[in-house]
């Protein structure tokens, strides 16, 4: 999670359930992080700082469709998904959150979950540490 130019919250945890596809994995991961996103928004509001744009970045187009449209975007491969993973859809509909596409090469979260090398590693390290080097 980024706030301004800093990264106050970052986490990388193993998922507690088995998933059948990368789309489902992304949806479960977003759902697992939703309480942290919402709590941070409520905390900032209580402190007098209004949050205008809470954006959840995704690099999986199918996941974005499922998050925005819920069951309406479900297909044969995703019809088994539990309805709890459509909590994100409710938050998008109530305009507490928006979802935007972010290409894999720009996804800062990959720094915490993948063994990056070379330019991509240096780029994300600089961004996360708020360094000018």
Strand boundaries in 1-119, DSSP class E: 55-58, 98-101
Is the model's pLDDT at 101 over the cut of 90? Answer: yes
pTM (two decimals): 0.74
Using a pLDDT cut of 70, give the percent of the chain over it. Answer: 79
For residues 77 and 126, state if they share a domain.
no
Q: Which domain holds residue 123?
A: 104-133
CA atoms of 95 and 29, how far apart (whole Å): 20
Based on C-alpha coordinates, what's the Rg of the chain? 16
Pair 33, 113: CB distance under 8 Å = no
97 and 110 fall within a common domain = no
16: which DSSP letter?
S
What percent of the chain lies above the pLDDT cut of 90? 5
Q: Are residues 82 and 117 located together in one domain of the fold?
A: no
- Please report the pLDDT score of residue 8 as a whole number: 67
Cβ(98)–Cβ(53) below 8 Å: yes
């Amino acid at each position: 999670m980024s706030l301004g130019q800093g990264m106050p919250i970052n986490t990388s945890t193993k998922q507690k359930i088995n998933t059948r596809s990368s789309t489902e994995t992304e949806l479960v991961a977003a759902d697992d992080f939703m309480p942290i996103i919402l709590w941070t928004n409520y905390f900032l509001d209580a402190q007098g700082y209004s949050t205008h744009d809470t954006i959840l970045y995704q690099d999986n187009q199918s996941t974005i469709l499922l998050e925005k449209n819920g069951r309406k975007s479900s297909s044969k491969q995703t019809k088994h998904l539990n309805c709890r993973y459509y909590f994100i859809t409710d938050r998008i509909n109530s305009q507490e959150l928006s979802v935007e596409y972010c290409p894999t090469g720009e996804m800062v979260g990959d720094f915490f979950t993948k063994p990056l090398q070379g330019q991509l590693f240096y780029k994300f390290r600089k961004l996360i540490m708020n360094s000018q080097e």
